[in-house]
Amino acid sequence: MRLVAIYCLLLLLLSCSQIQKKEEQQKATKSLVISGKVVNAPNDNSSIIYELPAAGRPIPLDTIKPDDQGNYKIELKEAGFYQLNFFGQASSVLAVEKPFQVNYDGDQANPISISGSTSADFQQKMYDIQFELNKEVMDFRSQLTEQVTNVDSLIQVEKKIRADFQNQMKELIKGAEVNLAFLIAMSQFELDGNTTFLMENAKKLSKKYPENLHIKGYTDNLKKSSLLAVGSPAPEIRLPNPKGDSVSLSSLQGKYVLLDFWAAWCGPCRRENPNVVRLYNKYNEKGFEVFSVSLDRRKQDWINAIAKDGLNWTHVSDLAYFKSIAAQTYNIQSIPSTFLLDKEGKILAKGLRGKALEEKLRDIFE
């Protein structure tokens, strides 16, 4: 079953080191085995690829060919995360800490089934929920036509579908015994709105698996990422303005602030600027400010763009491109990138541009 959600944090962690140091390995059972039965395979020569999940492309470990009755068995050296790719038709990331069965039926819409342990049962329920999400999203998208004009309402419908999915996943995790597969489930959550829930379960995982490197890495990344979650205090920025004077983001507390990462060379940024100018002129007297951080390299380009676009608000830059200390603090990978801060300096929303920014400011000030 291919997952719609990309396991970004998880796969980055898994790609670093699947084989832990001997003293950090969890003791496996006498025979840690994945076994199962294959029916209705694409052809008699079909093989199962046994892989390590990794960022980009999985790392193949071995190729397994089922016997004449469709049975197969994979003996593992240690507990951990693995991926089974059945004939290029369906694949599943697995958290293996006890022997269990993974069966495949090519005639089924959801061809992979998992059983044999508490962890396996949890993963089967998790993937059942994921399968229903995929189906619902695809059914929804199949109904869309070129005549559809209210795109925003459609986006909200899809957001609701995904929110319902996350609520189901939360209930599954809450009702389950802590197991290694929690890490797979947790990687499918958006951080915003779920930080507390994820941190609580990361602590449970760390308590049960104190030496597991993947859980340590996930927890460390979660702590760092939570600094930029909605509701968190915006990290301080203190950089020079065009005159060379140091200006801090916190100096604007008491007002709603659009923290805007941009650059003179950024086409989409420049095209968005007239919209921000219009909204700034409309709401500035009501308590709206803009704090622009430029990722330019040349000071004159930066100053010229400010003047040409009529950006009459606070500007700062260390002229360090994406190596800017502010860009690194806010994990900026592309621009334009925005954070809307409330009067207390907490992150209220992220990524607002165009109509979405206008509607948010309307909700606040009107």
pLDDT, one tens digit per residue, over 186-226 is 998 988 889 889 999 999 999 999 999 889 999 998 988 88
Q: Is the pLDDT of residue 361 over 80?
A: yes
Tokens of 206: 């760390």
Q: Which of 218, 184, 229 is nearest to 6 (CA)?
A: 184
**CATH of the domain spanning 238-365, picked from 3.90.660.10, 3.40.50.300, 3.40.30.10, 3.20.20.70:** 3.40.30.10
Q: In terms of pLDDT, which residue wins out, 287 or 141?
A: 287
Say if residue 35 is exposed, middle or buried (CB neighbours under 10 Å; 0-12, 13-18, 19+).
Answer: middle
pLDDT score, position 70:
93
Q: How far apart are CA 203 and CA 261, in angstroms?
A: 34
Average of per-residue pLDDT values in the chain: 87
Q: Are 4 and 44 in contact (CB under 8 A)?
A: no
Q: How far apart are CA 73 and CA 54, in angstroms?
A: 23
pLDDT single digits (tens) 304-339:
999 999 999 999 999 999 999 999 999 898 999 999
What is the Cα 332 distance to its own chain's centre? 14
8-226 is classed CATH 2.60.40.10: yes
pLDDT single digits (tens) 242-256:
999 999 999 999 999
pLDDT single digits (tens) 16-46:
444 344 434 444 445 799 999 999 998 877 8
Q: How far is CA 48 from CA 37, 67, 81, 117, 208, in A?
A: 11, 12, 16, 22, 32
Q: Are 344 and 354 in contact (CB under 8 A)?
A: no
Tell me the three state secondary structure of residue 162.
Answer: helix
Q: In terms of pLDDT, which residue wins out, 56 or 249?
A: 249
Q: How far apart are CA 253 and CA 250, in angstroms?
A: 5
pLDDT score, position 24:
41
Q: How far apart are CA 49 and CA 365, in angstroms?
A: 57
For residue 1, name the pLDDT band (cuts at 50, 70, 90).
Answer: very low
| 9 φ, ψ (degrees, to nearest 5) | -60, -45
pLDDT score, position 28:
42
Give residue limits of the domains in the chain.
Answer: 8-226, 238-365
Q: Are 11 and 54 in contact (CB under 8 A)?
A: yes
pLDDT score, position 263:
97
End-to-end CA distance of the chain: 47
Q: Is the pLDDT of residue 53 over 70?
A: yes
pLDDT score, position 149:
54
pLDDT score, position 151:
56
pLDDT score, position 29:
44
pLDDT single digits (tens) 104-158:
999 999 999 999 988 999 999 999 999 998 888 887 777 765 555 555 566 677 7
Percent of the chain with pLDDT over 90: 68
DSSP β-bridge partners for residue 33: 75
Number of other residues whose CB lies within 10 A of the CB of residue 347: 21
